[in-house]
Amino acid sequence: AQSVTQLDSHVSVSEGTPVLLRCNYSSSYSPSLFWYVQHPNKGLQLLLKYTSAATLVKGINGFEAEFKKSETSFHLTKPSAHMSDAAEYFCVVSDREYGGATNKLIFGTGTLLAVQP
């Protein structure tokens, strides 16, 4: 069965410093992995997705993530944090049907990112 583990429940950074949100996955086959962001009282927004193409994936708002099969990791990074990045971030793996189309998403427990001025 597929699963993801987010290694930090809370991360606090200063504005302008790098962001690292860690995620490890478990999957019986080549996974599709995603990062979603959830701002308070707003819906989930897709930041980026990995679907077995390039291992370094660039997303919106300057975020990127690198798929490392040897480490079963898919960490999210950003070179310089902005106050507007404060939100909850979810690492997600898809329970992918045979043939490549996505089915249900399996979410991690989330990492709450705080950005200090």
Footprint of other proteins on residues 42-81 (CB under 8 A)?
A: 42-46, 49, 51
Asked whether position 108 contacts other proteins by CB under 8 A, the answer is yes
Q: Which stretch binds other proteins (CB under 8 A): 11-19, 30-38, 68-76, 77-85?
A: 30-38
CA 75 to chain CA centroid, nearest Å: 7
* 31 binds other proteins, rule: CB under 8 A: no
Q: How far is the CB of 73 from other proteins (least distance, A)?
A: 18
CB 38 within 8 A of CB 88: yes
Q: Interface with other proteins includes 17 (CB under 8 A)?
A: no
Q: How far is the CB of 32 from other proteins (least distance, A)?
A: 6
Secondary-structure breakdown of the chain: helix, strand, coil percentages, each rounded to the nearest 5: 5, 50, 45
**DSSP letters for 50-105:** E-SS-SEEE-GGG-EEEEETTTTEEEEEESS--GGG-EEEEEEEE-PPTTS----E
Using CB under 8 A as the criterion, which residues of the chain lie in contact with other proteins when the complex forms? Answer: 32, 34, 36, 42-46, 49, 51, 90, 92, 94, 100-110
